Amino acid sequence: MRSRTSHSISSQEVHECAIQGLLQAKLLKDHGWLCSAVVVWNVLLRAAARMTSVFAACRDLAHAPSDQAVLDALNDGLPKTLSVLERRLNEALLVGPLPRWMRRKKWDIAIDWHLEPYYGEPHQSRNELYYGKPQKGTTKFHAYATACIVHYGVRYTLALTWVRRHETTVVVLRRLLARIREIDLKIACVMLDRAFYNVPVIEWLQAEELPFLMPVVFRGRPPKKGRPRTGLHALKRQPAGRYSHTLKNGKRRATVSVFVSYRTHRNRKDGRRVQQKLLFAAWRVAGTPTAIRERYRLRFGIETSYRQMRQARIVTCTRKPHLRLLFVGLALILRNLWVWLHQTRLSDGTGEQLTLRLERLRFKRLLDWLAHAVTTLLHDASTPCVQWSA
């Protein structure tokens, strides 16, 4: 049990927590005496902490195996099927068992897509890639979906899944929520982004009796001048309040509550106050339009997880989807480790009285500690130098 008056942790403890969590998940097998699972994980931690490639990490560590040996160990030691690899990555995301007070309470769960732009060819099949609207010069992506707790101090990434080409939003959502139910976590509300605003998703959530909240998406052109507005275009003209709306998709119908709310912000160019009207679709979610708007604002904490994930993601140009999934999962595992350390070791209070002290250990410093610990193990302590001949 941690002390209530002392908040101290060393880089060695952080490194041991990371290695033990990865080994317990049984993601990787030993590949000979030189490329054991511990050595390979240390190389990957170094690459993740420095946001470099596996090649660069092996080059910087004198006692590390070659980059080809590490890649061979990954190809031979990782699970052969992506479904097994995904399940073990999800097990590794939970750094420790969920506290009892977290299991008793219901939580808001945020679900979102993450698209990694991809400019090459697929490894074996086009189904490995997700095709969407052009972003950053490409329409091809490696797509991932995550589920995250929306709460102060405990914003864990609970589930990660790789999205195939032809998978619908309902299939992805079912997979993520099944993982949350496996860890026996109660769901108060599912907060989705606009990609999930469609009739099949709403029908499935209502059949599962899961309350949800998501922004409304306007599709189609607005009516011409002089013609009456109908549907969402008519609701947008209404004052703040709660209204009923029915979505249509052929013969399928889904009825939701639409909250009309206002948001004011200052224009960056002229400094004037601008009023913006926001519409949210909800089901079995109570509250005023202002409370609904503020509740959904908390969902944007999942964007923070993506930003921090990019700070610890291994750079790669491989076409193999299982390696890319591993590198994304490792970055999220390190972020969860950072959240867990703050919750259990570095915060003031416990449970509902938790007060975070993020200044005690920033995520970037945690990555520096991991890089330093790996360097201590796999470097020969020689003086760096550059030699050349005239």
C-alpha angle 154/156/158, rounded to 5°? 140
Residue 22 structural domain:
11-80+320-348+360-378
Q: Mean per-residue pLDDT for 302-314?
A: 90
Distance CA 288, CA 306 (A): 30
Instruction: Check pLDDT > 50 for residue 125.
Output: yes
Instruction: Check pLDDT > 90 for residue 54.
Output: yes
More confident residue, 42 or 96: 42
Asked if the structure places residue 383 within a domain, the reply is no
Distance CA 62, CA 242 (A): 64
Asked if the structure places residue 102 within a domain, the reply is no
Asked if the structure places residue 367 within a domain, the reply is yes
Tally the domains of the chain.
Answer: 1
Each residue's pLDDT tens digit, 309-322:
999 999 999 999 99
Burial 57-89 (b: 16+ CB within 10 A, else e): bbebbeebbebebbbebbeebbbeebeebbbbb
Residue 104, pLDDT score: 83
Is the distance from CB of 139 to CB of 132 less than 8 angstroms? yes
Instruction: Check pLDDT > 60 for residue 6.
Output: no
Q: Mean per-residue pLDDT for 96-104?
A: 73
Residue entry with tokens 């033990």: 20
Asked if the structure places residue 113 within a domain, the reply is no
Among residues 100, 183, 159, 158, the alpha carbon closest in space to that of 352 is found at: 100
Each residue's pLDDT tens digit, 148-174:
998 887 889 999 999 998 899 999 999
The whole-chain average pLDDT of the chain stands at 88
More confident residue, 305 or 202: 202
Is the distance from CB of 11 to CB of 373 less than 8 angstroms? yes
Report percent pLDDT > 70 for the chain. Answer: 93
Name 31's bridge partners. 35
Asked if the structure places residue 30 within a domain, the reply is yes
Q: What is the pTM of this model?
A: 0.90
Q: How many residues does the chain have?
A: 390
Instruction: Check pLDDT > 70 for residue 124.
Output: yes
Residue 72, pLDDT score: 94
Asked if the structure places residue 58 within a domain, the reply is yes
Q: Give the per-residue SS3 of the chain.
A: CCCCCCCCCCHHHHHHHHHHHHHHCCCCCCECCCECHHHHHHHHHHHHHHCCCHHHHHHHCCCCCCHHHHHHHHHHHCCCCHHHHHHHHHHHHCCCCCCHHHHHCEEEEEEEEEEEECCCCCCCCHHHCEEEEEECCEEEEEEEEEEEECCCCCCCEEEEEEECCCCCHHHHHHHHHHHHHHCCCEEEEEEECHHHCCHHHHHHHHHCCCCEEEECCCCCCCCCCCCCCCHHHHHCCCCCEEEEEEEEECCEEEEEEEEEEEEEEECCCCCCEEEEEEEEEEECCCCCHHHHHHHHHHHHHHHHHHHHHHCCCCCCCCCCHHHHHHHHHHHHHHHHHHHHHHHHHHCECCHHHCECCHHHCCHHHHHHHHHHHHHHHHCCCCCCCCCCCC
More confident residue, 100 or 299: 299
Band (268; pLDDT cuts 50, 70, 90): confident
Residue 155, pLDDT score: 87
More confident residue, 84 or 348: 84
Instruction: Check pLDDT > 70 for residue 97.
Output: no
Write 217-222 long-range contacts (CB < 8 A, 24+): none
Q: Mean per-residue pLDDT for 118-146?
A: 91
Residue 289: HSE in the Cβ half-sphere, 13 Å Cα cutoff? 17
Q: Is 137 exposed, middle or buried (0-12, 13-18, 19+ CB in 10 A)?
A: exposed
Band (381; pLDDT cuts 50, 70, 90): low
Band (146; pLDDT cuts 50, 70, 90): very high
Instruction: Check pLDDT > 80 for residue 389.
Output: no
Each residue's pLDDT tens digit, 327-357:
999 999 999 999 989 888 888 876 667 788 8
Residue 276: both structure tokens together: 């913006």
Asked if the structure places residue 177 within a domain, the reply is no
Distance CA 261, CA 292 (A): 8
C-alpha angle 308/113/212, rounded to 5°? 110
The alpha carbons of the chain give a radius of gyration, in whole angstroms, of 24
Asked if the structure places residue 131 within a domain, the reply is no
Instruction: Check pLDDT > 50 for residue 358.
Output: yes
Instruction: Check pLDDT > 80 for residue 100.
Output: no
More confident residue, 144 or 4: 144
More confident residue, 249 or 98: 249
